[in-house]
Amino acid sequence: MKAPVRSLIAQLALVAVGALTIATASAEEVVLVAPNAPPPVRYEAVPVPRDGYIWEKGHWRWEHGQYVWERGHWEVVRVGLHWVPGHWAPRGPNWVWVTGHWA
């Protein structure tokens, strides 16, 4: 096997085993890829509703090769739009974080 092919295979293996952060076309948007499904969602008490805000529930984030719990937080309501919650989605053998956003 030629050295460039072995190098490519080694790089692909690292992606499958670890996490990969890829910058997308937008400098602000980052795609997080994890090699396995996140743990079950933790129970968090939802605070009393606040005018002008929507509650984004807590979720697992991928950091330094492991899942870390991120507590829920308030998002300012954007009139005329609805909140699409962030979530993990399977992509082939990996999992991708889809950031919560207004649509």
Distance, CA of 94 to chain centre: 12
Higher pLDDT, 14 or 59: 59
Whether 23 has a pLDDT exceeding 60, the answer reads no
Angstrom distances, CA of residue 102 to CA of 1, 13, 62, 81, 94: 49, 35, 22, 6, 25
Question: Which pLDDT score, from 0 to 100, does residue 32 have?
Answer: 78
Does the pLDDT at position 18 exceed 90? Answer: no
Chain-wide mean pLDDT for the chain?
Answer: 80
For the stretch 44-74, pLDDT in tens is 999 999 999 999 999 999 999 999 999 999 9
Q: Which residue(s) pair with 88 in the sheet?
A: 97
Cα separation, 47 vs 66, whole angstroms: 28
Give the chain's domain count: 1
The whole domain housing 60 covers: 3-102
**pTM of the predicted model over 0.75:** no
